[in-house]
Amino acid sequence: MVKIRTFIEALAAVRDRSGYDRGFISDPFAGDDAARLGLLRTQAMLDQLGNPERACRIVHVAGSKGKSSTCMLIDGILRASGFSCGRFLSPHLHSYLERFVVEGTAISEHAFTVLTAEVVAAVERVERNAHDLGRITAWELSTVMALRHFQQARCDVAIIEVGLGGTLDATNVVDPAVSVITSLDFEHTAILGTTMTEIAGNKAGIIKQGRPVVTAAQPDDASRVIRERADACDAPLLVAGRDWTVSGTERDFTATGPWGAIDHLESALAGWHQAQNAALAIAAAHTLGVNDPSLRGIDHDAMRAGIATVHLPGRFERIRLDARVIAIIDGAHAPSATAALADTMRTHYPDADLAVVVGMLNDKDPAQVLPPLLGIADHWIAVTPESPRALPADEVGAALESVGAACTVSTTVAAGLKTARKLGYTTILVTGSFTTAAEARVTLGLG
């Protein structure tokens, strides 16, 4: 029996169940059969704890790009409407506690320790009584912890972000009040599949029988898969571009759909893609209110207020370093994300002399992720983030040099920022992964 009396012991109990390069997620390469056992293990833990997943309405969010932003925007709308919200997002930037949030506040070290001890006791009972299910992973444990935390906090709504994929993710034990699918892109192809049809099929696995689903605009193949899954589940489907539209600019936009027209919207998150994420969040919140009489306080004013107040560190986060120099931190790590980042940079800093400090993880291909930024970068500085899954800086540098980009290979993120300043650049973009974004925030005194 694991004894958990301190925060360090609690964190170790989670980390010790991580099998993927000692990170906080389990091994995603073990195959579908192993992942299906993971769903059974997760449900068995929830059963041991009296099924906390049934205690509040659940918004289940999958996708490739914009998941965390959309979750935060839904959270903002619901809290502006007077409802109590929990959210379970990943990855965290600085502390594992950031994954367990109620009413905008991360769980305390003490509460995390007590929660971990309780859920690990359930883990041990499941493993003792059901040997055939295998060993419970860190992600499965964390999912159950989040659901238990939200039950104990008596949340009206819990917003649950998928960790990886959808169909076989541990979070897919929930019965959602609404499922949300954000923009899809080619990601984790070794796990989710190499075609958009395969990826969409995996993400669409969160759609449940009779439960409404809202989705961002998708590539044609993905749209077809999502539509077919929704039809098979008799799940009402709302689609961006078909059932609602967004017009205007990121600073003043209108979302028009089944809720009517909501004008003078402004997201605190920069970029036109965030206006689209905001409309997706509005569609999710509207769907909740329409289908649940107890959530019918979600009006236009709450939507407007909730969207305006959301702040998400590491997403186009701007830091003034001195009178001349500004740094922008963005964890973009997929082609669609870097394309959106490039568009946002052009909007906000069209004439910048720009150095890009880039650090990536080894499950990403620089040749696929970085091209959207090539047209705006004057110089690249490749770094190696502090992660067991880091892609070495010289490999990133080689990929950039192969397409003719001017690149300096550095060491750490801190060293890369220092190099950019020494070279005299007044605009410094740090990107490539959330690990890199977190290190930049720490270096600049924000984490």
**Residue 1: which pLDDT band, with cuts at 50, 70 and 90?**
confident
Both structure tokens of 402: 């192969």
Confidence check: pLDDT of 19 > 90:
no
| pLDDT, tens digit (0-9, with 9 covering 90-100), for 386-428 | 998 899 999 999 999 999 999 999 999 999 999 999 999 999 9
Residue-level pLDDT at 334: 86
Angle, CA 127 vertex, CA 122 and CA 128 arms, to 5°: 95
Does this model's pTM top 0.85? Answer: yes
Q: Work out the mean pLDDT of the chain and round it to a whole number.
A: 92
CA neighbor of 74 nearest in space, from 201, 192, 176: 176
Residue whose structure tokens are 């998928």: 162
Kindly calculate the radius of gyration of the chain based on its CA atoms and give it in whole angstroms: 21
3-state SS class at 354: strand
CA neighbor of 329 nearest in space, from 198, 395, 405, 428: 428
| pLDDT, tens digit (0-9, with 9 covering 90-100), for 78-97 | 999 999 999 999 888 899 99
Confidence check: pLDDT of 32 > 90:
no
Asked whether the beta carbons of 336 and 183 are under 8 A apart, the reply is yes
Instruction: Evaluate whether the domain defined by 317-443 bears CATH number 3.30.590.20.
Output: no
Residue 33 CB neighbour total at 10 angstroms = 9
Kindly report the backbone phi and psi dihedral angles of residue 247, in degrees, each rounded to the nearest multiple of 5, phi listed first.
-135, 160
pLDDT > 90 fraction of the chain, expressed in percent and rounded: 81
Q: If residue 282 lies in a helix (H) or strand (E), which one and from where to where?
A: helix 272-291
In angstroms, the CA 162 to CA 139 distance is: 10
Residue 91 preceded by cis peptide, ω within 30: yes
Q: Which CATH number fits domain 7-309: 3.40.1190.10, 3.40.50.80, 3.90.650.10, 3.40.50.620?
A: 3.40.1190.10
Domain boundaries, the chain: 7-309, 317-443
